[in-house]
Amino acid sequence: MSISISEAEAQVMAALWQDHPLSTDDIAAALKDSQAWQLATIKTLLNRLLNKGAISAEKEGRRYLYSPVLTRDEWLGTQSLGLLDRLFDGKLAPLVVHFSAQRKLKAADIKALKQLLQDHEND
């Protein structure tokens, strides 16, 4: 599933990935420490996500409860491939080189990368 969501929509999704189903008030409470959004803003973001098929809504009394349809893993896959395509022409090696130049790789990181390469060669 390839659904493009904005940074603001991703914050709403993060709340829903953490716990669901949630009402608009529940989402506002979950985001209160990171965002001072009005309920109207959250409702707008929820409507956008509904229209994109990223979430579902179930009516409970006078309110709606929202749940994710788009999984976090699906979203991460789309985001990481987009980053790789946009910044590194779809090539993984320059991304790894860039990050290793920006941040010193720990021994555990190097071991994990070596294991990844070995697993890939064995496939």
Q: Sketch the domain layout of the chain as residue ranges.
A: 1-90, 91-123
Say what the pTM is.
0.76
Mean pLDDT of the chain: 92
CA–CA separation, 67 vs 106, rounded Å? Answer: 37
86 against 38, higher pLDDT: 38
Q: For 13-42, what is the mean pLDDT?
A: 95
Q: Which helix (H) or strand (E) holds 68?
A: strand 63-68
**The CATH number of domain 1-90, selected from 1.10.10.410, 3.30.390.50, 1.10.10.10, 3.40.50.11540:** 1.10.10.10
pLDDT by residue (tens digit) across 24-35?
999 999 999 999
- The dihedral sign for the CA sequence 41, 44, 48, 53: positive
